[in-house]
Structure 1
Amino acid sequence: MGSETIESGWLLSRETRPTATGAELVYWLSTVDGPRCLVVPGQPYTGLIRQSDTDAWRQWLGQRTGWRLSATEARDFELAPVDALYVSDPALWRAIRQYAETSGLRLYEADIRPCDRYLMERFICGAMAARVANNAIVAARPATPSHQPSMVSLDIECSRHGELYSIGFYAEGHQCVLMVGPEQGGPDYLHYVEDEAALLRAMLDWFEQHDPDIIIGWSVIGFDLALLQKRAQHHGLRLSLGRDGSEPRWREQAGPGRECGIAGRAVLDGIDWLKAAFYHFESYALDAVAQSLLGEGKACDDVRGRLNEIEHNFRHNKPALAHYNLKDCELVWRIFEHTQLLDFALARSQMTGLELDRTGGSVAAFTHRYLPLLHRAGFVAPNLDSHDIPPSPGGYVMDSIPGKYRNVLVLDFKSLYPSIIRSFLIDPMGMVAGLAEPDPALTVEGYRGARFHRTQHRLPAIIAELAQQREQAKLARNGPLSQAIKILMNSFYGVLGAAGCRFHDPRLASSITLRGHDIMKTTRRWIEAEGYQVIYGDTDSTFVHIGDEPDTDTAQRIGRELVTLVNQRWQQKLAEQGLDSALELEFETHYHHFFMPTIRGSSEGSKKRYVGGVEGPEGLVLTFKGMETVRSDWTPLARAFQQELYQQWFSGKPVTGLVRRWIRETRAGERDSELVYSKRLRRDLEGYQANAPHVQAARLANQLQNDVVYRKGSRIRYLIGQSGPYPLGLGETNINYEHYVEKQLQPVAEPVLSVLGRAFSELDGDQLGLF
């Protein structure tokens, strides 16, 4: 045994390798001194069996070797005692799992990978500090590294047929473009290689020399790495991007971030991680996102035009193509910096325990945090139930009182569902213990027959700890960490009602949502008892009309008073039940102007649709919820019209003349630049059954160009002509202005006009009026 050292760093990848003596756990770390590969040899595969099934298992296992049974004091969720089954033979373990499925014998937690179990049982999430001897881990604990892993932005350029032209790299203090072709000069970062095979070999040499921890890019897994793999196979080359010389491990339908595993490296796709961090863009094309976030991007967003330019420059101006390639790399790098996506990914990994490059996995994150605490409480987790699950009620949505208002306050419960879990002790294990508890005084009643034990629970404490950590992150102005914690906490409700979670139970989810219904209804009664009108409520938000007269200072005071009143009432109400209230109502917004429309063609108030206006130093700032302005399938014409319409209406100015002007200008062709629809193709054109307008336009574009320009993932920009949809810049130019008046202007105008007692048809034409 060699001398021991301490290694500490971010977990980049993890793997379970079968060996003759059990599972070998392989962990790659990013440390301040570079990458380290650490192993845990000879770990058994583990499952839990019912003690009542022990004889049956012994009989089946017979004289086989490589297994042992160990008594435990744990129970399953039906309170049956269980024993642990440890297996060192990988082949026997596969046979045991298969036998459990066919025989009906219970085998709990057999689906948990040993490399995950080792971490979760030691509460290790995202980073590890290990005592190491001869690269083998002797002991391990959680860590919080202060350094950031090294990173490279990777982008490739290729022909329309998938032949590689160049590969770009952008990293801290280093930029490089490898290009196929004879030496012909150019910037210092441009290096030429003989052919495509040489390009791939040069790329592997680059990785061996610079050795980054993390690869980032734009569709970097589904496009760049997938094409690199395909072209390497074409040339009979091994795409040995792993730090151990291995090729990427491809897993189909594994979920975002899990399709491609590279030993010792993490791969972060910019599109997936922006979505994971709850960024929203009309288009996730690199051009569009860079323009939105950085104010800079590619000038051309036409697919065919860009391909033509790439192919032309590869033949005639390779330095220009290299600049284009490197610019893509740089834009991705700057987007990551601007949005702190790497910080967010690291924080998320430390909160969830999931692989650094895994964007989904809320169920796996819950399991990682909850399972070790469950074990220490003397329980083992149930297996996933494949039967149909009765649906649980959704969030509370109040019937709205439609109309135009002055002074509407929005009062929000802070993290309502996590707060309900904390306040009412909702917990999977707690429900098992609560239903078995004969003394009702030791339980809290839930919904649909659920009861939760007052002392035997773990989830409320997890959420309380996360809530405290989030407050600390806010104080430290650590936005990525705060966001990661918020997302994790809010995922717990969905997990408890999700078909893919081993802990799911409709009684758990219903005890959260139905409690939320009652909290919202009770809060409404308390507010209305103070003389104010609640006009709408949605999940955790209550909209309160306080009258037309109060000025801003008075409205602010009323908002604070209502929040204090409601929070004190909930503290008192729960204290009477022997519970501590974590419910916290906050004064979110004071809308000086507010409009709740009716459902189209009805006098009934709509839900999840409203417009609010706040008067400030910059003028009237509008917020649209569920309206055309925030929907990507409406044209710029509808959005601009809606903005101007409500600005004028909320400001007390007449609007019928404005409506007439927009109709006139649209028909006169003065707003043609605002008529373009834009929609992404979510599948290849052959996969569409319905002949939707954007599909028609894409098919026509491909037909007119004799090429498959538009396919799955492409964004088609089109107009509506007299003969139907047609792609922008191609084919017909005879715009159907009546379509835009009827389908874009009229739906926007009608909610406002109905309040004024006017009809759109009255204003559509050359009618004159004193309005």
Structure 2
Amino acid sequence: MTSTSKDWQDGFIINTQVVHQKGQERVRLWITGQQGTISLDSPPQSAIAFIERENLLEAMTLSNDSHDIQFIDSHLHTFKNKPVAVLKANTQKQLRSFEVICRDAGIEIFEADIKPADRYIMERFVYGSVQYRSLPELKIRPGTYRPSLRYIVVDIECDENGQLYSIGCDDGKNGWVWMRDDAPETFKSNEFTYLNVASELHLLKAWVDFIRQYDPDVITGWNVKQFDCRVLTERASLCGISLNIGRDGQAMTVRKTTNEQYWVEVPGRAVVDGIESLKTMTFHFSSFTLNYVAEQLLGEQKLIHDDDQLGRIKHLFIHDKPTLARYNWMDCRLVARIIEKTNLINFLVLRSCLTGLPLSRPGGSVAAFINNYLPHVHRAGYVSPNRPHDGGLASPGGYVMTSSPGMYEHILVLDFKSLYPSIIRTFLIDPVGLVEGLKCPEDSIPGFKDAFFSRDKHFLPDIIDQLWQQRDEAKKDGDEARSRAIKIIMNSFYGVLGSGGCPFYDTRLASSITLRGHEIMQTTKAWIEEMGYTVIYGDTDSTFVWIKGCNDAIEVNNIGRQVASHINAKWKHHINAVYNTECFLEIEFETHFARFFMPTIRHSELGSKKRYAGMTGPYHGEKLIFKGLESVRSDWTQLAKEFQTTLYQKVFKQEPVEDYIKHTVSQVSEGLLDAKLIYQKRLRKPVDAYIKTRPPHVKAAIIANDEAKSAGKPIPYPNKSSVQYVISTNGPVPVGTNVPLDYTHYIDKQLKPIADSILPHLGLSFDAMTAAQLRLFE
């Protein structure tokens, strides 16, 4: 569908393509709006890059007719203040080919990696939402339209070779399953529509017809790019057909990237992976299997989740296809419910409207920064630097204070609100601002590592200011998805400036943020201690304050608010007096721990870092909170997590612990807690690549993979999979191996370290409590 409107229309960009016509490239935008989804082609777009003017003659000599490169003078400069000329080519391929020739000749080309579609959109400050008109030719400008997108969840079932059994779909309200079956049976159950098809070819064709008829904006699923779309495309190729599910009838394309991942494109539709998107939303799970995430978010599990899942699926395909169909559909419905629970699609729309990133793009912090920042750079008279060839120098990390270990009552936690974005706003930290500031240091704000930042020529502080205001509005409106999207974007800007993968990387930028953070935290600590309170720990943007000798919760909370107010006033005065600029630093009284424990580093008297536990006071819900301890680590057993939680809870509530410890040791020794003794750890590479050392999870994976190969089954633990194993009397083995467990290991390596971290502060000893008891089991 195409548009012929002379009037400005509102829409949202689903995705883009570059189309080739008569030796030129046009950007095709797929836009959805109240009029439906349309495709619009831009006027011909040149591929553009820049070259220092001093290298122009040599570059022109290297050029020839086959490259079709134009050289045009410009008013722009590099960050090193060298004037540049524009390189233009009809296609991106021509430009990149010429860039390689120049690079081999030692000539640097700038911005050659910016794709025409990205440049076309960003230079017009269009991010997701767009206003457009197509006559006499396409024009676009920023918009405010927010779409309501239709999505469909896709999931396949197949054998170990990828041969399809069934394809399931669900939209959160209705479900469909197509099953390979010679029987003509087709029915609609109370849960989903069940449709039989005669062969794999008919199965694929039926799915293509459904997608084109349903016409979703978003195709999603769990690992849908790396598995489902890949397998569907491979099976379609074997069947001699293309999966023409694009809105214009084009085929879905799947290509393998250099990092062994798969990239999926469907014209007019976004392909969104559930795992990638939740990670982009900063969700953290010890495992991203659908079964685990559904259990954590929904309190539900997959219909089949036993050890030999593939064997069960194959058995059901042969003997009980309706049950397999329900399993297939249930996986789709779980993903749909996770999408609704997390507001995932709305989050991705908002992220796109803030950054210009496509819905289907995971991560993308550097790309988001470039989209927002590069057009401002050009308007300031500069071109972007290139990414550092050596990856860049490491910049200092966040401030972490050595802690004062021990058991405490009444600890206040004061947090700086978005510390790094606040530092950028306050001290005007900015790539262009650095270039301009170095020209006039005496009129600029000093940073670190000889950096100076212009007071009036900068963009990043203003971009963050706009995002900050939008986040405050989102909070006021109760729009959690929008608030979360903005927070993630704001906080990513520091990481981008310190990343060698970003063309605007400069160690002076990142250091001027982190080292300023160190200074702020250290000064804040000194000011709090001048008030007569003790700071026992500090971490990046949090300060832990001991209110010694005060036992009234109301008074403690009042002190927390008073300290925050006093520190904020001090910072406003200090910034104005020293730097003559506005202060955006704001510390907040975040938490009151009625009881708090800061452990020592294991086998040391020194206080630990990023590890603590506490019980919040009555005004904060009396919750038990762990940071960095065993209960929140994915590579410790369920036994350890539950033991630590219960033990600390008893300690904080001043309840006796000896009977609980003895009872737990007894249950482990008698084999009553075997289900809680499972370790889980992820493989970082194929098991064969572990040569010098083989950790326990690798040894268990090797055993499991060898057994599967001997039985003619696919290996259960390929690269980057999570291995579940136990420690037996024969060492680490896969879960389900019929050998005795090493209960001494679990007592010594799981229970004892947890108990030993806190019991000495109570004058107690794990060994003394359990010595006589353990002798009974020797």
TM over 0.5: yes
For structure 1, which runs of at least 5 residues remain unmatched after alignment? none
Contact in 1 for aligned 2:717/2:723 (Cα 8 Å): no
* Cα deviation 1:665-720 (Å, max 9, x = unaligned): 32122323322223344444333333322233333334455233412254443322
**Is 1:628 matched up with 2:635?**
no
With over 3 angstroms needed to count, the CA separation of the structure-2 counterparts of 1:729 and 1:87, relative to structure 1, is closer
With over 3 angstroms needed to count, the CA separation of the structure-2 counterparts of 1:160 and 1:616, relative to structure 1, is farther
Greater shift after overlay, 603-612 or 244-253? 244-253
Letter of the 1:496 partner, please give it: L
Secondary structure, aligned partner of 2:42: strand
**Is 1:220 matched up with 2:227?**
no
**Is 1:748 matched up with 2:760?**
no
Greater shift after overlay, 120-129 or 28-37? 28-37
1:173-212 to structure 2, matched below 5 A, reads 174-185=174-185, 187-188=187-188, 189-212=193-216
Residue 405 of structure 2 is aligned with which of 397, 402, 411? Answer: 402
The structural deviation recorded for 1:26 is 1.1
**Is 1:719 matched up with 2:726?**
yes
Paired with 2:518 and 2:649, the residues of 1 have a C-alpha distance of 34
Greater shift after overlay, 604-613 or 668-677? 668-677
Paired with 1:433 and 1:485, the residues of 2 have a C-alpha distance of 28
Alignment partner, residue 536 of structure 1: 537
Query: How high is the sequence identity, in percent, across the aligned residues?
Result: 42
With over 3 angstroms needed to count, the CA separation of the structure-2 counterparts of 1:71 and 1:45, relative to structure 1, is same
Secondary structure, aligned partner of 1:280: coil
Greater shift after overlay, 575-584 or 295-304? 295-304
**Is 1:154 matched up with 2:154?**
yes
Paired with 2:290 and 2:227, the residues of 1 have a C-alpha distance of 13
Letter of the 1:105 partner, please give it: I
Paired with 1:477 and 1:383, the residues of 2 have a C-alpha distance of 40
**Is 1:349 matched up with 2:352?**
yes
With over 3 angstroms needed to count, the CA separation of the structure-2 counterparts of 1:197 and 1:410, relative to structure 1, is same
The structural deviation recorded for 1:580 is 0.6
Paired with 2:110 and 2:575, the residues of 1 have a C-alpha distance of 37
**Is 1:480 matched up with 2:505?**
no
Secondary structure, aligned partner of 1:558: helix
* Cα deviation 1:277-322 (Å, max 9, x = unaligned): 1212222221222122222222432241x32332222222222221
With over 3 angstroms needed to count, the CA separation of the structure-2 counterparts of 1:489 and 1:257, relative to structure 1, is farther
Letter of the 1:286 partner, please give it: L
**Is 1:420 matched up with 2:441?**
no
Residue 287 of structure 1 is aligned with which of 291, 304, 308? Answer: 291
Secondary structure, aligned partner of 1:666: helix
Paired with 1:766 and 1:617, the residues of 2 have a C-alpha distance of 43
Contact in 2 for aligned 1:612/1:622 (Cα 8 Å): yes
Alignment partner, residue 439 of structure 2: 436
Alignment partner, residue 449 of structure 1: 450
**Is 1:557 matched up with 2:574?**
no
Letter of the 2:411 partner, please give it: V
With over 3 angstroms needed to count, the CA separation of the structure-2 counterparts of 1:339 and 1:64, relative to structure 1, is closer
Alignment partner, residue 501 of structure 2: 500
Greater shift after overlay, 339-348 or 639-648? 639-648
Paired with 2:722 and 2:180, the residues of 1 have a C-alpha distance of 30
Aligned-residue Cα RMSD (Å) equals 2.3
Letter of the 2:129 partner, please give it: A
* Cα deviation 1:590-613 (Å, max 9, x = unaligned): 000000011111111011110111
Secondary structure, aligned partner of 1:10: strand
Paired with 2:702 and 2:220, the residues of 1 have a C-alpha distance of 33
* Cα deviation 1:738-770 (Å, max 9, x = unaligned): 1111001100000112223444322222279xx
Secondary structure, aligned partner of 1:192: strand
Letter of the 1:752 partner, please give it: I
Secondary structure, aligned partner of 1:43: coil
* Cα deviation 1:725-748 (Å, max 9, x = unaligned): 23333321x221111110011000
Contact in 1 for aligned 2:67/2:98 (Cα 8 Å): no
Greater shift after overlay, 164-173 or 535-544? 164-173
Paired with 2:286 and 2:62, the residues of 1 have a C-alpha distance of 58
Contact in 2 for aligned 1:598/1:605 (Cα 8 Å): yes
* Cα deviation 1:612-664 (Å, max 9, x = unaligned): 11244998421011111001111111111111111111122333343233222
The structural deviation recorded for 1:55 is 3.2
With over 3 angstroms needed to count, the CA separation of the structure-2 counterparts of 1:191 and 1:430, relative to structure 1, is same
Alignment partner, residue 167 of structure 1: 167
Alignment partner, residue 50 of structure 1: 52
**Is 1:13 matched up with 2:15?**
yes
The structural deviation recorded for 1:522 is 0.2
Letter of the 1:552 partner, please give it: A
Contact in 1 for aligned 2:4/2:134 (Cα 8 Å): no
Greater shift after overlay, 617-626 or 532-541? 617-626
Residue 311 of structure 1 is aligned with which of 310, 314, 322? Answer: 314
For structure 2, which runs of at least 5 residues remain unmatched after alignment? none
Alignment partner, residue 640 of structure 2: 638
Greater shift after overlay, 503-512 or 243-252? 243-252
1:311-710 to structure 2, matched below 5 A, reads 311-437=314-440, 440=442, 442-576=443-577, 577-616=579-618, 620-689=622-691, 690-704=693-707, 706=711, 707-710=713-716
Paired with 2:267 and 2:628, the residues of 1 have a C-alpha distance of 44
Secondary structure, aligned partner of 1:144: coil
Contact in 1 for aligned 2:16/2:30 (Cα 8 Å): yes
Q: Tell me the TM-score normalised to structure 1 length.
A: 0.94
The structural deviation recorded for 1:64 is 7.2
Secondary structure, aligned partner of 1:229: helix
Letter of the 1:463 partner, please give it: I
* Cα deviation 1:534-589 (Å, max 9, x = unaligned): 00000000000011423111111111111111111111111112111110101110
* Cα deviation 1:56-76 (Å, max 9, x = unaligned): 344444677955443332221
* Cα deviation 1:504-546 (Å, max 9, x = unaligned): 1111111110000000000000000000000000000000001
Paired with 2:219 and 2:391, the residues of 1 have a C-alpha distance of 40
The structural deviation recorded for 1:36 is 0.8
Paired with 1:554 and 1:157, the residues of 2 have a C-alpha distance of 61
Residue 737 of structure 1 is aligned with which of 710, 730, 743? Answer: 743
Greater shift after overlay, 29-38 or 632-641? 29-38
Paired with 2:430 and 2:21, the residues of 1 have a C-alpha distance of 38
Secondary structure, aligned partner of 1:661: helix
1:52-91 to structure 2, matched below 5 A, reads 52-61=54-63, 66-88=68-90
With over 3 angstroms needed to count, the CA separation of the structure-2 counterparts of 1:207 and 1:24, relative to structure 1, is same
Paired with 2:299 and 2:432, the residues of 1 have a C-alpha distance of 51
The structural deviation recorded for 1:53 is 3.0
Alignment partner, residue 735 of structure 2: 728
The structural deviation recorded for 1:192 is 1.5
With over 3 angstroms needed to count, the CA separation of the structure-2 counterparts of 1:572 and 1:620, relative to structure 1, is closer
Alignment partner, residue 246 of structure 1: 250
Letter of the 1:422 partner, please give it: R
Letter of the 1:568 partner, please give it: A
Aligned length: 762
The structural deviation recorded for 1:276 is 1.2
Secondary structure, aligned partner of 1:481: helix
The structural deviation recorded for 1:255 is 7.3
The structural deviation recorded for 1:200 is 1.1
Letter of the 1:490 partner, please give it: N
Greater shift after overlay, 715-724 or 477-486? 715-724
Contact in 2 for aligned 1:20/1:89 (Cα 8 Å): no
Letter of the 1:263 partner, please give it: P
**Is 1:764 matched up with 2:766?**
no
Paired with 2:5 and 2:343, the residues of 1 have a C-alpha distance of 39
